[in-house]
Amino acid sequence: MLTKLAGGRLYDPANGIDGEVRDLYIHDGRILHHPPPGETPGQTFDLDGKLVMAGAIDMHTHIGGGKVNIARAMLPEDQRAHRRNRTASTRSGGGHAAPSTLAAGYRYAEMGYTCCFEPAILPINARQSHMEMADTPMVDTGGYAMLGNDDLLLQLMSEGASQETINDYVAWTLHATQCIGIKVVNPGGINAFKFNARTLDVDEQHPHYPLKPRDIIRTLSRAVAELGVPHPLHVHASNLGVPGNRTATLATMAAAEGFPIHLTHIQFHAYGTEGDRHFSSAAAEIAEAVNRLKNVTIDVGQVMFGQTVTISGDSMHQHANHHHAHPHKWTCMDIECEAGCGVIPFRYKDKNFVNALQWAIGLELFLMVEDPWRVFLTTDHPNGAPFTSYPHLIRLLMDRSFRNDQLARIHPDAAAMSLLGSLEREYSLYEIAIMTRAAPARILGLTDRGHLGSGARADLCVYRPSDDAERIFSSPMLVFKNGEVVVEEGRITRPLQGTTQVVRPEYDRAIERRIGDWFDRHHTVRLANFGISDAEMAEGIGSPVEVHPCRPRSVT
């Protein structure tokens, strides 16, 4: 059937369209700009100037995997306070900071999101991540496999293995775990914590291996580029949350030596040590570096006030921060000679100096990084705040007077130390569409998503215009997934299951002998049971894969 969307105001930055009124057609799950010859629309939506954008893409959200499930299990109070009842078309669930998979999928779709990426998949736990995401309805999913603390990589690097060998291991990992990118969390640091190190700076030597975090960043960012994985190495830098960590963040950017690098939740890595409390914003310095270094992209990890839970692979810094747990319970785990995790419930308070300044630092970064194609809208769900706060965050970016009203409420010393009040920038709808649609699709290599061009997948949403951006983005009028209406007036009308987005760089299979030997000698899982096949994804896990192409790159 042909569907016509008549008279919508289109925001499609990938194709340079900024608020033009145009008709769109949907045919066989794809967007068309003209009806196919001889076809007349079976269904027409008269949009009358309503805002039309591609489905939103969250490129960094902790929605599936072992540590997310630990958070759910630890926080029945979070579920109890946010129950979501069964309806005729949707199943029950709940939760706010650590929502159930079902509740997360429904809520994402109700906000106009059609694609979400779990940024920290522990290879041994990849099955669980994919099973949880398969049970997250409405959205397509994907994930980044964690390397850089696994003993096999560190051993290979310590032995002086060639870059080609490392590349083969990285590619093998992507295949085995059915992932679309590579993530490194506190490079070497999670591993060092197992040797009882409590910090590991970028140029500090690991307590066991003759390596520094800088070496890991350089090697992995190069591997990802040479393999042609579209998404740059996704980096949770060293020294998360530590005052003065700006130097580590800048050193991490430099460590990529010109290869593409994505620094995630950079708000948590943009701290100075100025002032009476020895905690200050380094947002200006970090933003200046991002503006200058074209190989660098970031997402912010904005903090919002209220109860949440922090879940991270960074067991080293999660353990260091366990005293801040609210409510006072916390879990840390060492996992399978691969990495670890830490789960700490946390309440950000606007009257707390540090939390208030974290909030301001995130917004400063958004407003001072000039190129919206290189800064992504995240709260590092749920670490800075649950993803449900995105509409509020968008209003903070688009509405200066609203932002300044909020600024007036936070701890006055934090407000006084922040540049935020002086920043006049207001994001446009076009720029919001860049950072939530066009740019994430581009940086992940999803060529048929994040835009409204002819032939694009018909994942799109229709919003009612309003002066209040929070209202616009809280509740779209219509959401289409694969060309079907799935949400009307912010409510699910048609539940569906998504697919898993992966890449498959080529590699020399000889590496599997080396990996097999390592497994036989040291692991408690057989290599043959480690990798996930396409048939297992489709039939057992319940989320078939879609493969996206790789294109090898060099230094930019």
Question: 70 or 394, CB closer to other proteins?
Answer: 70
For the CB of residue 335, give the shortest distance to other proteins in the complex, in Å: 5
385/231 Cα distance (integer angstroms): 24
For the CB of residue 78, give the shortest distance to other proteins in the complex, in Å: 8
The reply on whether position 210 binds other proteins by CB under 8 A is no
For the CB of residue 361, give the shortest distance to other proteins in the complex, in Å: 28
Which of 52-60, 107-115, 497-505, 524-532 is the region at the interface with other proteins (rule: CB under 8 A)? 524-532
Question: 124 or 182, CB closer to other proteins?
Answer: 124
Which of 139-147, 259-267, 303-311, 518-526 is the region at the interface with other proteins (rule: CB under 8 A)? 518-526
Which of 321-329, 427-435, 473-481, 501-509 is the region at the interface with other proteins (rule: CB under 8 A)? 321-329
Measuring CA to CA, how many Å separate 113 from each of 60, 128, 208, 450, 545? 13, 22, 43, 10, 19
Query: Who's near 514: CB < 8 A, 6+ residues apart?
Result: 156, 165, 169
Phi then psi for residue 376, to 5 deg, are: -110, 145
Question: 336 or 371, CB closer to other proteins?
Answer: 336
Q: Cα–chain-centroid distance for residue 271? A: 21
Question: 315 or 358, CB closer to other proteins?
Answer: 315
The reply on whether position 531 binds other proteins by CB under 8 A is yes
Applying CB under 8 A, the site for other proteins has a residue count of: 71
Look up tokens 């835009």; give the residue: 451
The reply on whether position 321 binds other proteins by CB under 8 A is no
The reply on whether position 445 binds other proteins by CB under 8 A is no
Question: 468 or 539, CB closer to other proteins?
Answer: 539
For the CB of residue 311, give the shortest distance to other proteins in the complex, in Å: 12
> What is the footprint of other proteins within residues 151-180 (CB under 8 A)?
151
Question: 71 or 397, CB closer to other proteins?
Answer: 71
For the CB of residue 71, give the shortest distance to other proteins in the complex, in Å: 10
291/260 Cα distance (integer angstroms): 14
E strands along 264-422, which residues?
Answer: 271-272, 280-281, 296-299, 306-312, 331-335, 339-348, 375-376
Q: Cα–chain-centroid distance for residue 520? A: 34
238/243 Cα distance (integer angstroms): 12
Question: 50 or 67, CB closer to other proteins?
Answer: 67
For the CB of residue 438, give the shortest distance to other proteins in the complex, in Å: 31
For the CB of residue 539, give the shortest distance to other proteins in the complex, in Å: 6
Q: In terms of DSSP bridges, do strands 484-488 and 491-492 run parallel, antiparallel, or are they unpaired?
A: antiparallel
368/377 Cα distance (integer angstroms): 14
The 43-72 contact track toward other proteins, x by CB under 8 A, reads ---------------------x-x-xxx-x
For the CB of residue 526, give the shortest distance to other proteins in the complex, in Å: 4
CB-based contact 296:251 (threshold 8 Å): no
Query: Who's near 104: CB < 8 A, 6+ residues apart?
Result: 63, 95, 136, 387
Q: Which two tokens stand for residue 358?
A: 């974290």
132/348 Cα distance (integer angstroms): 27
Question: 318 or 436, CB closer to other proteins?
Answer: 318
39/537 Cα distance (integer angstroms): 37
The reply on whether position 509 binds other proteins by CB under 8 A is no
Residues in the chain: 556
> What is the footprint of other proteins within residues 184-203 (CB under 8 A)?
193-196
The 328-367 contact track toward other proteins, x by CB under 8 A, reads xxxxxxxxxx-----x------------------------
Question: 150 or 380, CB closer to other proteins?
Answer: 150
191/335 Cα distance (integer angstroms): 10
Among 135, 140, 226, 431, binds other proteins (CB under 8 A): 135
- Among 65, 121, 177, which Cα is nearest to 503's? 177
Question: 284 or 333, CB closer to other proteins?
Answer: 333
The reply on whether position 381 binds other proteins by CB under 8 A is no
Question: 336 or 426, CB closer to other proteins?
Answer: 336
> What is the footprint of other proteins within residues 534-553 (CB under 8 A)?
535-537, 539-542
**Cα atoms in the Cβ-side hemisphere of radius 13 Å centred on 9:** 12
Measuring CA to CA, how many Å separate 539 from each of 390, 469, 535, 545? 34, 41, 6, 11
Give the bridge partners for 344, in sequence order.
310
Question: 286 or 341, CB closer to other proteins?
Answer: 341
> What is the footprint of other proteins within residues 75-134 (CB under 8 A)?
76, 78-80, 83-86, 91-95, 98-103, 122, 124-125, 127-128, 131-132
497/29 Cα distance (integer angstroms): 15
484/54 Cα distance (integer angstroms): 14
370/238 Cα distance (integer angstroms): 25
> What is the footprint of other proteins within residues 213-272 (CB under 8 A)?
none
